[in-house]
A and B are shown apart, each in its own frame.
Chain A
Amino acid sequence: MTNTDPDKKGGQIEVSKVTKTYGKRSFAKTVVLDCSFVIERNKLTVMIGPSGSGKSTMVRLLAGFEQPTTGSIMFNGQPVTKPSRERLVVFQETALYPWMTTYGNVAFGPTAQGRRGSSVKEAATAIIGQVGLKQFQTAYPHELSGGMQRRAELARALVNSPAVMILDEPFRGLDAMTKGLMEEYYSRLFETSGCTHFFITTDIDEAIYLADRLLIMSNAPLRVREVIDVDLPRPRRRADVIADDCANDLKMKALAILHEEAIKSFALGDQKAADFVEAYSRRYSGSRGRP
């Protein structure tokens, strides 16, 4: 990657006892409840949980767009109080600026930081080439396919050499084929990027394939239900991961926890959890039935 300074590489985020509540008194709604976990330096931490469980809220807290109600978030030992280019977010669905070309989008960060001239051009062009969009430098986002948009977005974040990349369900909404390719592509990108990644998903296969460490979250309010280390060798190939017994055991374990979590919420009369139970139990039994 363009980032060659070893001191700048990576970053560690420590989340301790974070609770986030919106609204006041009787309108109060707790979205994140007493969450503690560590996003380890230069590792890929994946957070998995059902939709609507408050994962995106956690993203906004980690990025510094919002502050926790109680608890603390420390980035390399310093409290997170505002957004910083050390911690960049790749959002669900594209958040590329529609009025800028691919090049304009990627060069936005460097120029906003006051860099001018050929250094910006070199850095932006190099990253665009790296994500395979050289021919699409002058294209506007709506002229790119879904997969290209995600790659452009990865490039826009990476060009700033962040210490931590936060990806909020970045491949959601892509068709299965493109999604698979993007996961493999992203996995290689992570292996060469040499920085910390935090990846959010609802897809267990995606989670196991990508993760160094898996955080399994509860239904809303968001709590850490289980932490699983995924000790699969890198670089990973999808075929290897699918065939790997260890990976499949981890997947079963994770699904069991997610299922149990859903049943618990379901028993409490949560309508969302009902859908969750249905979707996951179908999946769970389906996967178990496979030879």
Chain B
Amino acid sequence: MRIPTPRALTRGIISIAIFLICWELGARSGQLFGVKVPVISAVPAPSAVLAAWKALLGNHGYWQSWYLSTLRVLGGFGAAMLVGIPFGLLLALNRFVYQIAFPTFEVLRPIPPLAWVPAAILFWPTQELSIGFITFLGAFYTIVINVVGGARDLDSRYIQSAYAMGASRSDVFFRIILPATLPSIIVGASVGMGITWEVVVAAEMISGGGSSLGGAGMSGGTGGGLGFFIWNSYTGGSYEQIIVGMISIGIAGYISSSLIRLLGQLLTPWLKSR
């Protein structure tokens, strides 16, 4: 990953600082200026959120939420990669499979993953599987579309010259088609990862976060994932914890995307400094 220059780093810190200061001033505007800034004054101030966060750091339930959401994201995302990449390649390379499967795929694709929630809860035997399935869908379509696009864009001269030089079909697949598609796979993966976090949180909220894993605790949810943590904080009236949950998701998503970008750069050294 590119290391930011000191100047870029400073600006990044300033950006966040300005955001926090505006937020703090807005949230406390009633006390400080006697005039309430609409909307923002109803939000807990960052200092209050930080205090709530500090209190949560030793809380098992909070970390359990992190753990469960991460596990679901990894599960759904991993399954989507495992199924999506071969399926995408098959669609791109085999005209018969493409003509048979692609129309159905294209009809199912516009259905938002969240629209699947009721059906998923009904048709999958456990809550956990329904959430996993929805998470999977979030990443699956994006990965498949990117793989299909990447593999179909492949310059036919690459394949022709490889065959001319005596390459076998497996050579052409592993040394030409796969590396040529790799950048698209990585783009699909990083976009898919983002969608997975969006979807898992919503699915946890709607489905109740797996009630078998523990009931609602007042100190910020005990174990239904970060989405459930937020929902639970809402029903429990802890507004600071809602914000803590939201920021936690932001951080989790950022870390996941960074890891994928890093991995992507390691896997595609030829795209460096383009």
Residues of A near any B CB (own CB < 8 A): 63-65, 83-85, 87-89, 91, 95, 97-100, 108-109, 112-113, 140-142, 156, 160
Contacts and interface: CB of A to CB of B under 8 A. Distances in A.
7 nearest A-B pairs in the assembled complex, by CB-CB distance:
A109-B165, A112-B167, A83-B164, A99-B179, A113-B166, A140-B270, A95-B157
A99 B165 contact: no
Interface stretch (B20-28, B38-46, B83-91, B168-176): B168-176
B6 interface: no
Contacts of B164: 63-65, 83-85, 87-89
A91 B182 CA distance: 24
B163 interface: yes
A168 to B, nearest CB: 10
Interface residues of B, number: 22
Nearest to A93: B157
A142 B270 contact: yes
A9 B179 CA distance: 34
A85 B163 CA distance: 8
A112 B165 contact: yes
B270 A99 contact: yes
Contacts, number: 62
Contact of B158 (A63, A89, A95): A95
A112 B171 contact: yes
Given A84-B164, A109-B166, 12 more contacts: A63-B160, A63-B164, A64-B164, A83-B163, A85-B164, A87-B164, A99-B182, A99-B268, A113-B166, A140-B269, A156-B165, A160-B166
A71 to B, nearest CB: 21
B179 A142 contact: no
B180 interface: yes
Centre residue among B157, B171, B179, B269 by max chain A CB count within 10 A? B157
B64 to A, nearest CB: 42
A145 to B, nearest CB: 15
Contact of B165 (A64, A140, A160): A160
Contacts of B157: 91, 95
A108 B176 CA distance: 10
Nearest to A91: B157
B162 interface: yes
A100 B157 CA distance: 15
B180 to A, nearest CB: 7
Interface in B173-194: 175-176, 179-180, 182
Nearest to A98: B270
A97 B274 CA distance: 15
Interface of B: 155, 157-158, 160-168, 171, 175-176, 179-180, 182, 268-270, 274
Contacts of A100: 179, 270
B216 to A, nearest CB: 51
B161 A85 contact: no
A106 to B, nearest CB: 11
A99 B268 CA distance: 7
Contacts of A141: 270
Nearest to B155: A95
A88 B179 CA distance: 23
Nearest to A104: B175
A84 B161 CA distance: 9
A108 B162 contact: yes
A95 B161 contact: yes
A97 B166 contact: no
Nearest to B161: A95
Given A85-B166, A99-B179, A112-B171, A142 B274 contact: yes
Nearest to A92: B157
23 contacts: A64-B164, A65-B160, A88-B164, A89-B161, A91-B157, A95-B155, A97-B158, A98-B180, A99-B180, A99-B182, A99-B270, A100-B179, A108-B162, A108-B167, A108-B175, A109-B165, A109-B166, A112-B165, A112-B166, A112-B175, A140-B269, A156-B165, A160-B166
Contacts of A95: 155, 157-158, 161
Contacts of A85: 164-166
Contacts of A156: 165
A108 B179 CA distance: 14
A91 B160 CA distance: 11
Contacts of A63: 160, 164
Centre residue among B166, B175, B182 by max chain A CB count within 10 A? B166
A93 to B, nearest CB: 9
A25 to B, nearest CB: 23
A224 to B, nearest CB: 25
A82 B165 CA distance: 12
B210 to A, nearest CB: 43
A65 B274 CA distance: 32
A100 B269 CA distance: 9
Nearest to A153: B161
Contacts of B268: 99
B144 to A, nearest CB: 22
Nearest to A159: B165
B270 A83 contact: no
Nearest to B166: A113
